[in-house]
Structure 1
C-alpha cells in the first residue's frame, strides 16, 4: 500500500517551493493534482500523482529575491535578540554595493518574508544569505542539504608548540558533538595562524567547539563561500542581489 503524503510536503520534495509557499498557493487555488484544482489545506496525495502549479505561482516566485550580505560583527542573523540588531537592518538602498551587477531595483517590500537561509554567529563575519525563495532556503538549510560552506578561521594554539598533525586529522574527521559523529570536513592551514574549514553541516558554534576540542582558540571567523557562491569583493556591511547565473 503506497502511503499518502501531505500535498505541501510533496510539493517541497519535488522542489516546486517551500511548504509555506505551497500552503499559500493551495489556498489561492494555484495547485492542481492530476489536472484538478486542490484548494483545501492538509490535502494528501499519492507519490505517483502529478502535481502542477498555475502560471501565477511561477510568476510570483520569479519576483522573489535572494540577497548576499557581508555581515559585520555584532549583528545577529535572524530575529533581534538581547538588544542586538538583525542583519536585515543592513538591507536598504544606501548600503547596496555600488558594484552590484544586478539590474534588480530595490524596494522596501522586498524585506517582507526575507529570511536568513542559515545562521552566522554574532561574533562571526562574512557571507550571509537572506531569501524570499523557499527553494533557496531548502537548498541551503534543508535536512538533506549537501551544500558546502567555507570559512577562514584565525586561531591561537593554547598548548606548547604547534597543533599536532593527528589533531588536524581529527578536525577533518573523528570528532563528536552533541552525542553524534560530525560529518567529514576539509580543514587545512592557510598560513601559520589561519585555517580553512569547509563543512557540509552547521551545528551551533560548530567551528569554535571543534577548535576547542583540540586546544585551539578562535580569534576570528569569516565565511567566504556557500556552495559555488563566493563573498568576493563585497564590502563589510554592504549587500547585493544573487545574480540569475549564480547557483549554490
Structure 2
C-alpha cells in the first residue's frame, strides 16, 4: 500500500505548480480534482496512485497584499468573522479569488468606532494603513448622522462653530443638513468617537452614524455586512 502524501506536495512533484503556496491556492480556488472530485480542503492527503488534474479558470489569486472594503454593521467590534467568501459583494469586479490568507495580518486603516456603521478599510499594506490613519488630514471622511429630535438651524450653527474638544484643536470640518433628523459631516482626522463628541458638544444626541466615504472611495454597492477587494488602480 502506498503511503499517503499531502496533495499540495503531490502537485509540485508532478510539476503542475511551481510551489507549495501556489498548490494551496489552486486547492482553495477549486482548481484541483482528485479522481474526478474537486478537493478544496487544505492539508488533504492522497495516495500516489490517485489521478490528479488541474483545471484553472479565469479566476485569479489575489495579490500578495490585499485591501478589503467592508460595510461594517453598527455594534461590530471585530469585523474578521464577516470576511468570508459568502459575504463578498456580488458586484466585486476584481476577478480575484477569496483565499484564507486574505483574512490574516489585516490592519484597520482609518478609525471607525464599534457602534458606527459603514465603510471600513482593512489592509495588509502597512504604508496604506499609515497614510489613512496618521495622515488622515489628506483624506476626507464623509459621514451621515441621524440625531434624536429635530435638527434646527441654531444647532447646526453651534456644531459648525466648534473649534476644539478636550483633547485638542480640531481641523476644519463641515456639517450640513440632509433632512429633518439627518446631517452630513465631512472630517479630515481620526479620533475615537469624534462624531459623537462633536454632536454632544453642539447639544445634539446621536442616534446613528454611518461612514459613506474615505477620500475617493465610497461604499457604492456594498450592502451592510458585505465586503469587496480594493482593485488595482483605485486610489483614496
- Assess same fold via TM > 0.5: yes
Which residue, out of 129, 141, 155, partners 1:149? Answer: 141
Instruction: Name the CA distance, whole Å, in 1 between partners of 2:163 and 2:131.
Output: 26
For the 8 Å contact 1:172–1:184, the answer to whether it is kept is no
Which residue, out of 110, 113, 121, partners 1:121? Answer: 113
**Does 2:229 match 1:233?**
no
Instruction: Name the CA distance, whole Å, in 1 between partners of 2:167 and 2:74.
Output: 30
Q: Please, what TM-score do these two structures have when normalized by structure 1?
A: 0.66
Which residue, out of 112, 126, 133, partners 2:104? Answer: 112
The residue number in structure 2 matching 1:163 is 152
Distance 1:173 1:104, change over 3 A: farther
For the 8 Å contact 1:152–1:221, the answer to whether it is kept is yes
The residue number in structure 2 matching 1:244 is 232
Instruction: Name the CA distance, whole Å, in 2 between partners of 1:192 and 1:115.
Output: 37
Runs (4 or more) in structure 1 with deviation over 2 Å come to: 161-165, 167-175
The residue number in structure 1 matching 2:131 is 139
Matches within 5 A, 1:168-247: 168-247=156-235
Instruction: Name the CA distance, whole Å, in 2 between partners of 1:127 and 1:185.
Output: 19
Distance 1:70 1:162, change over 3 A: closer
Structure 1: runs of 5 or more not aligned: 1-61, 77-85
Indicate the RMSD between aligned Cα atoms, in angstroms.
Answer: 1.7
Q: Please, what TM-score do these two structures have when normalized by structure 2?
A: 0.69
Deviation per CA, 1:105-147: give whole Å up to 9, x if none: 1100122211111222221111000000112112201246421
Matches within 5 A, 1:16-95: 63-76=64-77, 86-95=78-87
Instruction: Name the CA distance, whole Å, in 2 between partners of 1:65 and 1:154.
Output: 33
For the 8 Å contact 1:70–1:127, the answer to whether it is kept is yes
Which structure has the larger Rg?
Answer: 2
Instruction: Name the CA distance, whole Å, in 1 between partners of 2:203 and 2:128.
Output: 36
Residue 91 of structure 1 and its aligned partner are, at CA, apart by 0.6
Residues paired across the two proteins, number: 174
Q: Which moved more, 1:228-237 or 1:175-184?
A: 175-184
**Does 2:97 match 1:102?**
no
Structure 2: runs of 5 or more not aligned: 1-62
Deviation per CA, 1:193-212: give whole Å up to 9, x if none: 10000000121111111111
Instruction: Name the CA distance, whole Å, in 2 between partners of 1:101 and 1:241.
Output: 8
Residue 95 of structure 1 and its aligned partner are, at CA, apart by 1.0
Find the residue that maps to 2:205 and give its secondary structure.
strand
